[in-house]
Amino acid sequence: MAYRTIIFDFDGTLADTLEESRRIFNEMATDYGLRQVSEEELPGLRHFSLKELLTHLGIPKRRVPGLIARGTTLMRGNITKLPLIPGIVAPLTALRERCDSFGVLTSNAPTNVDLFLRSHGLRELFNFISSTSKLTGKAKHLRAIRKTFSLKAEEMLYVGDEIRDIKASKKAGIAVAAVTWGFNSPESLAAESPEHLLHHPEEFLGLHAAP
């Protein structure tokens, strides 16, 4: 069965927001009594699951929604200046021609995603932008998208850069393509057995999409 609908994560998958996210986190850290994260620390953090990352940074789960809300608001000021993942435009555009619909499911704010995509001339590729304020809430939203578009599970694909994206897809019963150019390391993503493991945006063209 071909993938009729492909849904993308935003941060780290479409947009290169890692350094901006680190800058914003460090800006908030003082107010929340958290320690800052250095640039040199990032490679080691790429191997952590969400639970391990929160524990390592000393972030209680109850603080997560507040951090996301404030962080996405702070990101809005620079969102149009942030870069796309290098080399993603051509394969993304070609892949869109093979699918019925493209969407975004993110923990970022829909307004941020909309502004970013418009600034890079890509907004017209996407039929919808969906968001969840819970870092572990994507499975529920994936199931809702499936119902909204009257899709079979095998007709959907989620594309993300984190371990939690793979776990959410599996929980929702749909296929997942993990991209290695985002937050989590190639090794940590491979260990979760995604249906597809992509190392460069050009590999989007190898996905089993509708002709």
pLDDT in tens, 16-61: 999 999 999 999 998 888 999 999 999 999 999 988 999 999 998 8
pLDDT average, residue stretch 134-163: 90
The pLDDT tens digits for 153-164 are: 999 999 999 999
pLDDT average, residue stretch 177-199: 97
Rounded (10°) angle between helices 163-172 and 138-148: 50
Any idea which of 72-76, 81-85, 207-211 has the lowest mean pLDDT? 207-211
CATH 3.40.30.10 fits 5-16+82-206, yes or no: no
> pLDDT at position 136, please?
66
pLDDT average, residue stretch 50-73: 90
The yes-or-no verdict on residue 1 having pLDDT over 60 is: no
Q: Which two tokens stand for residue 174?
A: 């749909």
**How far apart (Å, rounded) are the C-alpha atoms in residues 108 and 73?**
9
Whether 15 and 116 have beta carbons less than 8 Å apart is answered as yes
**How far apart (Å, rounded) are the C-alpha atoms in residues 161 and 12?**
6
Map residue 44 onto helix, strand or coil: helix
> pLDDT at position 50, please?
87
The pLDDT tens digits for 110-131 are: 999 999 999 999 999 999 999 9
Could you tell me the pLDDT band of residue 132, with boundaries at 50, 70 and 90? confident
The yes-or-no verdict on residue 211 having pLDDT over 50 is: no
Q: Is 162 exposed, middle or buried (0-12, 13-18, 19+ CB in 10 A)?
A: buried
In the β-sheet with 156-160, what is the strand arrangement from edge to edge? 128-131, 101-106, 5-8, 156-160, 175-179, 196-198
> pLDDT at position 46, please?
94
